Structure 1
Amino acid sequence: MKFLAITLIAHHDDRSPTERLREVVGHAVLAEELGFDGFGVGERHERPFLSSSPPVVLSHIAARTSRIRLFTAVTTLSLLDPVRAFEDYATLDHLSGGRLELIIGKGNGAAQAKLFGVTPEDQWERNREGYELFRRLWREDRVTWSGRFRPPLSEAEALPRPLQRPIRVWHGSATSRESVDLAARHGDPLFSANVTHPVGPYAELVEHYRERWAHYGHDPAAALVGAGSAGYYAARTSQEAIATYRPVFDARVALQRRLGLPVVFPTLEDAVRRGSILVGSPQQIVDKVLRYHKRLGHEVMHLPADADGLTPGQHRDALELFQAEIAPVLRAEIPSRPFPGAGGTP
Structure 2
Amino acid sequence: MIEIGIDSFAARSSGDDPAVISNEDAIAQLLQRIVHADEAGLDVFGIGEHHRKEFLDSAPAVILAAAAALTKRIRLTSAVTVLSAADPVRVFQNFATLDLISRGRAEMVVGRGSFTESFPLFGLDIENYDALFSEKLDLLLQIRGHEIINWSGKFRPALKNQAIYPRPMQDPIPIWIGVGGTPESFVRAGRLGLPLMVAIIGGETHRFRPLVDLYREAGKRAGHAPEKLKVGLHSLGYVAGTTAEAMDEFYPGYAKTFTKIGKERGWPPVTRAQFDAQAGPTGALLVGSPEEVAQKILHHSKALGGVNRVTFQMDQAALPQAKILNAITLLGKQVKSLCNCNLIYS
Q: TM-score, normalised by structure 1?
A: 0.89
Question: How far off is 1:307 after superposition?
Answer: 7.5
Secondary structure, aligned partner of 2:295: helix
Change (3 A) 1:287 1:172: same
Unaligned runs of 5+ in 1: 336-346
Question: How far off is 1:282 after superposition?
Answer: 2.4
Secondary structure, aligned partner of 1:276: coil
C-alpha separation in 1, matches of 2:264 and 2:129: 24
C-alpha separation in 2, matches of 1:63 and 1:212: 39
C-alpha separation in 2, matches of 1:333 and 1:223: 23
C-alpha separation in 1, matches of 2:168 and 2:334: 38
User: Any idea what the Cα deviations from partners look like across 1:21-48, whole Å, max 9, x if unmatched?
Assistant: 2221111111111111111111112332
Q: Is the 8 A contact 2:89 2:164 kept in 1?
A: yes
C-alpha separation in 2, matches of 1:209 and 1:119: 28
Q: Does 1:317 align with 2:326?
A: yes
Equivalent in the alignment of 2:290: 282
Question: How far off is 1:100 after superposition?
Answer: 0.3
C-alpha separation in 2, matches of 1:307 and 1:315: 11
Q: Is the 8 A contact 1:11 1:49 kept in 2?
A: yes
Of 74, 82, 101, 1:68 maps to: 74
**Root-mean-square deviation over aligned CA pairs:** 2.1
Equivalent in the alignment of 2:223: 217
User: Any idea what the Cα deviations from partners look like across 1:31-88, whole Å, max 9, x if unmatched?
Assistant: 1111111111111123322211011111111111121100111111111111121111
Q: Is the 8 A contact 1:253 1:263 kept in 2?
A: no
Question: How far off is 1:323 after superposition?
Answer: 2.6
C-alpha separation in 2, matches of 1:15 and 1:196: 28
Equivalent in the alignment of 2:16: none
Equivalenced residue count is 334
C-alpha separation in 1, matches of 2:125 and 2:47: 25
Q: Does 1:138 align with 2:144?
A: yes
Equivalent in the alignment of 1:10: 11
C-alpha separation in 2, matches of 1:231 and 1:4: 11
C-alpha separation in 1, matches of 2:101 and 2:293: 36
Percent identity among equivalent residues? 32
C-alpha separation in 1, matches of 2:188 and 2:166: 26
User: Any idea what the Cα deviations from partners look like across 1:248-277, whole Å, max 9, x if unmatched?
Assistant: 333334434454552596323122125321
Q: Is the 8 A contact 1:197 1:264 kept in 2?
A: no
Q: How do 1:257-272 residues align onto structure 2 when only pairs under 5 Å count?
A: 257-260=262-265, 262-263=267-268, 266-267=271-272, 268-272=275-279
Change (3 A) 1:250 1:122: closer
C-alpha separation in 2, matches of 1:133 and 1:32: 32
C-alpha separation in 1, matches of 2:214 and 2:53: 33
Equivalent in the alignment of 1:96: 102
Q: Does 1:84 align with 2:79?
A: no
Query: Counterpart amino acid of 2:251?
Result: R
Equivalent in the alignment of 2:299: 291
Query: Counterpart amino acid of 2:121?
Result: L
Equivalent in the alignment of 1:308: 317
Change (3 A) 1:231 1:145: same
C-alpha separation in 1, matches of 2:316 and 2:328: 10
C-alpha separation in 2, matches of 1:199 and 1:322: 20
Q: TM-score, normalised by structure 2?
A: 0.89
Query: Counterpart amino acid of 1:213?
Result: G
